Amino acid sequence: MKKPVHSVDEPEPKTPRADRPPADGFVVIVDGHFKSRFDTAEAAESSGRTLKSTYPKLKIEIYDAVTKVRTFLG
C-alpha cells in the first residue's frame, strides 16, 4: 500500500497536542491530563461535574487558559 504524498503547497494537518495547554478557552483536566476544551467556564464545569458524579475517585480540575489557573472540582 502506498503512502499518501504531501505536496509543498499543502499544509500539514494541525492536531492539538495533548501534552501542551491550549492558548484560549477552558479545559477539563482528568487525573492531570488535558481532556476536553470548552469556550466557557460553565460548560467545562458542567462536564467536569458530570464526570465527577459518574466516577467520584477521579481528580477533576478546570484549567483557564487565559489566566493559567487550575480550579479543583471537589
Q: How many CB atoms lie within 10 A of CB 48?
A: 25
**Mean pLDDT value across residues 3-22:** 66
Residue of higher predicted confidence among 35 and 7: 35
What pLDDT was estimated at residue 7? 59
Q: How many CB atoms lie within 10 A of CB 57?
A: 6
Domain parsing of the chain, residue ranges = 26-73
What DSSP state is assigned to residue 58? S
Which band of pLDDT confidence, cut at 50, 70 and 90, is reported for residue 3?
A: confident
Residue of higher predicted confidence among 15 and 71: 71
pLDDT in tens, 21-70: 788 999 999 999 999 999 999 999 999 999 999 999 999 999 999 999 99
